[in-house]
Amino acid sequence: MRVRELANSHGELAERLNELEEKTEALALQQDNFAHTTRAQLKQVFEAIRQLMTPPEPSKRPIGFVQPADEAGKLKAVKERRE
């Protein structure tokens, strides 16, 4: 249920961001004094928000049994005893 709500709110946020970007572009076209640097800054802000909205890639865990690093010394000692 919570995942569904988060996905829905994420979609709404993306939709509102697109609407805001379209409005600023329309405003920029209507106004002659809307500076080029201001447009570039707004585009950077929208791009940064979109990058923050994309979920990070999950880290891949190795398949199988992985021994902790601190036990590596213990296992080496056990192998030496067996020989």
pLDDT in tens, 18-52: 898 888 888 877 777 777 788 888 889 989 988 88
> Whole-model pTM?
0.51
Which residues make Cβ contacts (< 8 Å) with residue 67, sequence separation at least 6? 75
Highest mean predicted confidence (pLDDT) among 19-23, 54-58, 67-71: 19-23
DSSP state of 33: T
Q: Are 44 and 73 in contact (CB under 8 A)?
A: no
Give the burial string for 10-21 (b: 16+ CB within 10 Å, else e): eeeeeeeeeeeb
Q: Are 46 and 21 in contact (CB under 8 A)?
A: yes
pLDDT at residue 2 in the model? 58
Residue 76 has pLDDT above 60, yes or no: no
Q: Tokens 């923050």 belong to which residue?
A: 52
